[in-house]
Amino acid sequence: MKEKKKFRLFDAVLMAVVVILVVESAAPAAAIGSSQFFWWGILLILFFLPYGLISAELGTTYTGDGGIYDWVKMAFGRRWGARVAWFYWINFPIWMASLAVLFTEVMVQIFGLNLGTPALIIGQLIFIWLVTLISCYPVSDSKWILNIAAFAKVAIMVCLGILGIYHAVTKGMANDFSGKALLPTFDLNSLSFISVILFNFLGFEVVTTLASDMENPKKQIPQAIIYGGILIAFFYLFAAFGMGAAVPADQLSTSGGLIDSFILLVGGINPFVIIIGILFMYTLAANLISWALGVNYVAFYAAKNHDMPKVFAKENPKNDMPVGASVINGIVASILVIAAPFIPNENIFWAFFALNVVALLLSYIMMFPAFLKLRKIDPNKERPFKVPGGPVLLKIMAYVPLVLLVITLFFSTIPLSSSEFSEKIPILIGTVAAALIGECCIRLGDKEYNKKQMIKQNQQKESLEHENN
């Protein structure tokens, strides 16, 4: 029998980088302006650090493939676990659609193509189904894809940072980086983009789902989170500086901002920019492949427990992969890109991406109170990695990220001025629609679960009666 491939610490760190280092969201974050550095710094301390530590404890203590769904379910019951599973899943096909749109936008931009809407949709569908096909196989079989993607992301961000420094020294900065400009303005536009920074920090729990593929998960998972976190923070900030040096924040496109920055920094489209563009396109697919394992297994386990529709429980008998979830991802993403031309929004990438960010952030809200609840109701469970600190510090580490998520979601979905209506109302409608569909699926799951329980009880009753007779 062929020995199963194993993830080494090196692979695990690169996995953390490829999962969490999301290059395409660097431009939306940079659109905040110079004050983004304040937000990066404060959120690194108040959100990223406690989130990483809590993920390390939960991931090494409760090693089932259900991940965040299992943690919340154990703490607060089936329905809350089901809601987490639903939002954790639904963000993925929306994200896949947004990256498919971005993929074709970058392709057109760097190669100077003139493609009509049908050709663009075909390209987007090819992207979606290629990712879907690869996602039907174990991640350890395609870890080389992720390892290359990690290096590609690092190369893109390092080049952007170095070019930004050169531009600042030789031509000056496109944005004001003085002390006052670095302070937050708390304007509505910048506050709505903070959700993207939080999105950039998420994904450590995906790394914990790889425990069964690791040689020594109890040791490797915390190490991957620590080493990967340090690298990720550095590369995000370095790239943010390069982008800020090249493009004025008020002119930065949320979709094409990264490639625009390279074009401005080198003086036009040349072979270097084309290579960067190809690497960027490659990382878009790798992002989805790296997240697919965690998302699909959460949906798969939830469906097995009747908390998601039955189709998500379908698996490939040859490799035990959740192919039902993968195929549904492809179908939903395909519907979205086909419907995109009929959506009244000039920036389709941002329309999908913003909704995906909101859905994903919603799925994390219950993770932090679940951490405290599990410490309380399951105190004797062996914890290979334990978040240090007493009760007061642990509550601070759990509730501060929770409050940040709630505040960020409010500013991302609720229009507070007339100028925000056209952008935020579709996000709000999409979020409400996703929540309502999710609740319908949960209610259907309840009926199926109760039916199974009733059958089980009747079988036990009949068995007892037979034994008594």
Q: What is the pLDDT of residues 340-352, one digit of tens each?
A: 888 766 677 778 8
Radius of gyration of the CA atoms of the chain, in A: 23
One-letter identity of residue 18:
V
**What is the predicted pLDDT for the residue at 20?**
76
Q: How many domains does the chain have?
A: 1
Q: Is residue 4 part of a domain?
A: no
Looking at residues 8-24, what average pLDDT do you find? 73
Q: Is residue 162 part of a domain?
A: yes
**What is the predicted pLDDT for the residue at 32?**
73
Q: Is residue 63 part of a domain?
A: yes
pLDDT digits (tens, 9 = 90+) for 24-56: 777 777 777 777 788 888 888 899 889 988 988
CA distances from 462 to 381, 449, 458, 466 (A): 36, 20, 6, 6
Domain residues for 100?
9-468
Q: Is residue 1 part of a domain?
A: no
Which residues have CB under 8 Å from 156's CB, separation 6+?
A: 23, 239, 258, 276, 279, 280, 283
Report the percentage of the chain scoring pLDDT > 90: 28
- Average pLDDT value over all residues in the chain: 83
DSSP 380: T
Where does the pLDDT of residue 82 fall: very low under 50, low under 70, confident under 90, or very high at 90 and above?
Answer: very high
pLDDT digits (tens, 9 = 90+) for 287-343: 888 888 778 888 888 888 888 888 888 988 887 788 999 999 999 999 999 998 887
pLDDT digits (tens, 9 = 90+) for 136-181: 887 666 677 777 887 888 889 889 889 888 888 888 877 777 777 6
Q: Is residue 245 part of a domain?
A: yes
**What is the predicted pLDDT for the residue at 2?**
46
Looking at residues 269-285, what average pLDDT do you find? 92
Where does the pLDDT of residue 393 fall: very low under 50, low under 70, confident under 90, or very high at 90 and above?
Answer: very high
**What is the predicted pLDDT for the residue at 322?**
87
One-letter identity of residue 396:
I
Q: Is residue 21 part of a domain?
A: yes
Where does the pLDDT of residue 192 fall: very low under 50, low under 70, confident under 90, or very high at 90 and above?
Answer: low
**What is the predicted pLDDT for the residue at 282?**
92
Q: Is residue 266 part of a domain?
A: yes
Say which CATH number the domain at 373 has. Answer: 1.20.1740.10
Q: Is residue 15 part of a domain?
A: yes
CB atoms near residue 114 (< 10 Å): 6
Where does the pLDDT of residue 241 fall: very low under 50, low under 70, confident under 90, or very high at 90 and above?
Answer: confident
Question: H/E/C letters for each residue in 250-312?
Answer: HHCCCCCHHHHHHHHHHCCCCHHHHHHHHHHHHHHHHHHHHHHHHHHHHHHHHHHCCCCCHHH
pLDDT digits (tens, 9 = 90+) for 208-236: 666 666 777 667 777 777 777 778 778 88
